[in-house]
Structure formats: structure tokens, C-alpha cells
Amino acid sequence: MPGNTFGTIFKITSFGESHGVAIGVVIDGCPAGLDIDIEFIQKQLDRRRPGQSSITTQRNEDDQVQILSGVFENKSTGAPIALLINNKDQKSQDYERFKDVYRPSHADFTYDQKYGFRDYRGGGRSSARETATRVAAGAIAMQLLKHQNVTINAFVSQVGTVTLDNPYQQLDFDAIDSNLVRCPDKETAAKMISLIERVRSEGDSVGGVITCVIKNCPIGLGEPVFDKLHADFGKAMLSINAVKGFEIGSGFAAASMRGSEHNDAFQKDGDKVVTSSNNSGGIQGGISNGQDIYFRVAFKPVATIAISQETVNSSGEETTLEGKGRHDPCVVPRAVPIVEAMAALVLADHWLRSKAGRM
């Protein structure tokens, strides 16, 4: 069974390779009657787009989205919404030299082993270019969630050893897009940018962490027992290229804590039941409890580097790979809209799922 579909009711099916004709996504299950703002979709794609700033890859991908179906007079009709992004910058010749060489920590070797051969042009299906379709579909999920007043903000909280340690409550989310690295703290952002520039000049790459905060999530989303809300967030994030870790609420720090310290006491805030702390990260028993949901996503450094590396080729001979090309020194600034999109897709699906849960 293939794996190019995500979600159950708000369900997306993605297609397309880095250097094929086009990439795209079909959204099946968007409720009828939703206002669809194509400019908002394009805006999100522009935030993910390569070549958008001096610290990203200089590949220039235009990424103009087109709606093929499912929208009539600017409203969703209930029919599947197909979104298409034509591939423009198809310099396949750049990639001929990777045809027979397995790039370290890329998917070249595993694709060859799994499928018997591979579309080697720019990584083919394994390329992160595929994430553009997630951003496009996620932008429609966001329009659905806006009706519930849900807000989703992701930001860069770590690049290499530079970390943003302030609690998210002290940050100004409006400042996230005010700098190239999408870190809402100006000073930390400057350090991150400076680190990325140094790494790039060395022909190397560096990892990072994205934090995501969701406010106003309706109470009751998430399905026991396997489709707990945070389990679906985890899968969504871990399916993004280069992600190696996910933690929600207290996360790995919970392992060192006592129950008396970790438990979130219930209390009243006017008529509402709230919690005095939020180690749960807004989810209890797999179900949203109305508090802020927040989680952290760890990205490894991009595998494509300019530094020469040892490897083997498809004939099984050891060889050396000389890097070149227009890679991202650090993927996390461009991954911010991807994290937000995947979060929106999970929430939109669970919101629709919750509608059938109760008499």
C-alpha cells in the first residue's frame, strides 16, 4: 500500500517529482462552501520557495499554484480540489553525474534498493520539492480552521548551537517573518543568520529546531487510542524531509520529572476549566483540552554539501563525491511554513473527524 495520502476525511494525495512536468496535490474532503483565497495559498508557497533570501538556496523556483478543480465562484464545491505547480527550473543535466553515485544520507541508495531503479533527477520523488504541495494544501486547511479561530505559528528556535530559550509566551509571533531566519527574537535571529552564513561559506550545512504553537484549538479533537492528536502531529512532522525528532509539551524533559511536578492542576478561569501549568502541551489522553498546543521538531543538517565526501556508486565501487550546486545551508527557515501546513492538515482532519463522534 502506497504512502502518498495523508489524512482521513480532509485527505490529501500528493504527486510529482523534482524535475518532472509538475507537482501537485488533490484535496478530497474539504467541506463545500468554504471561501478559497488563492492569494493566501500563493503567499504560503512564497514563504517556502527556494531563492527567497540570501541564506537559502539560490535555485529560483517560481512555484505558481493553479487550481484545477473543486472551486467554483471562489468557493469549495465539495468536489476534490486539485492544485498544480508546474516545474520550471528543470536543469536535469546538473544531475546526470548523480545518476550512478549514492549521495551520503540521501535517499538514492534506498530508492534504488526498494524500486529497482530511480528517477535520479534532483532526487525525484524524494526531493523536498514535494513539500510545496503540503504547503499549498495546508493553506486551504488553514482557511477552514480560521472559521474556528485557530491560529498556528511556527518559528525557528534553534540553528546549530544557537538556541532561543525564552518561553514562547514571551515572544512576538508577528515578528517571525520580519527576519530571514524566521526567529521572532531579533538578537537570536542575528546570531542564527550569522551562523548560517559562516556554514555556507564553509560549504557545509547545519541543523535546527522549529517550535510550533497552536492557539484556540477546539476542545475534543483527537481520537483514542491510536489516532491521538499528538501522535498524528508526530507522524505529520516526522514525514517532513530531514526531521529526526518530535516532542510535545514537556517532551524529553518529562523523563526527568516527578508526577507531582508534571501534573497540570485543573482550575477555574471564569466559567472555563483551565490548567495552571501546561506540561501536557494542550493534549490529554490524546484529546485537545483547550490549552495551547505546542511542540518542537528537530531537523538534521541538509545532506547536500559542497565538501567532498566518500561514498559508493551503483556498481558497488567506492568513490568520492565532489559537492556542488545550489543547496540550502540550513533548511529550517524555509521549513517553518511546512510545519505550519502539516499542523493545519492534522487539525482540519481531526476537526472534521470530531463531527461524527457524538449524538
245 contributes a contact to a copy of itself by CB under 8 A: yes
- Residue 148, phi then psi, degrees to nearest 5: -100, 5
How far apart (Å, rounded) are the C-alpha atoms in residues 154 and 168? 10
Closest contact distance (angstroms) between CB of 217 and a copy of itself is: 12
- Return the closest-CA partner of residue 249 out of 221, 223, 288: 288
**91-110: which residues touch a copy of itself (CB under 8 A)?**
102, 104-107, 109-110
Q: Which of 61, 63, 264, 340 binds a copy of itself (CB under 8 A)?
A: 264
90 contributes a contact to a copy of itself by CB under 8 A: no
User: Which one, 115 or 172, has the nearer CB to a copy of itself?
Assistant: 115
Q: Which stretch binds a copy of itself (CB under 8 A): 20-28, 44-52, 53-61, 164-172?
A: 20-28
Q: Which stretch binds a copy of itself (CB under 8 A): 50-58, 79-87, 169-177, 181-189?
A: 79-87
How far apart (Å, rounded) are the C-alpha atoms in residues 251 and 229? 15
How far apart (Å, rounded) are the C-alpha atoms in residues 146 and 72? 20
What dihedral do alpha carbons 112, 116, 121, 123 form, nearest 10°?
-40
Closest contact distance (angstroms) between CB of 261 and a copy of itself is: 8
312 contributes a contact to a copy of itself by CB under 8 A: yes
Q: Which stretch binds a copy of itself (CB under 8 A): 56-64, 166-174, 178-186, 307-315?
A: 307-315
What dihedral do alpha carbons 137, 146, 220, 81 form, nearest 10°?
-30
How far apart (Å, rounded) are the C-alpha atoms in residues 143 and 102? 41
Closest contact distance (angstroms) between CB of 316 and a copy of itself is: 7
Whole-angstrom CA distances from 294 to 68, 168, 349 are 35, 9, 18
- Spatial contact of 319 and 112, defined as CB atoms under 8 Å apart: no
Residue 171 cell numbers, joined:
515572544
How far apart (Å, rounded) are the C-alpha atoms in residues 151 and 148? 9
Q: Which of 93, 169, 170, 260 binds a copy of itself (CB under 8 A)?
A: 260
User: Which one, 266 or 324, has the nearer CB to a copy of itself?
Assistant: 266
Beta bridge partners of 298: 209, 245
Q: Which stretch binds a copy of itself (CB under 8 A): 37-45, 74-82, 167-175, 183-191?
A: 74-82
**272-301: which residues touch a copy of itself (CB under 8 A)?**
273, 275-276, 279-281, 283-290, 296, 298-301
175 contributes a contact to a copy of itself by CB under 8 A: no
**124-163: which residues touch a copy of itself (CB under 8 A)?**
124-126, 130, 147, 158-161
Beta bridge partners of 319: 311
Closest contact distance (angstroms) between CB of 174 and a copy of itself is: 25
198 contributes a contact to a copy of itself by CB under 8 A: no
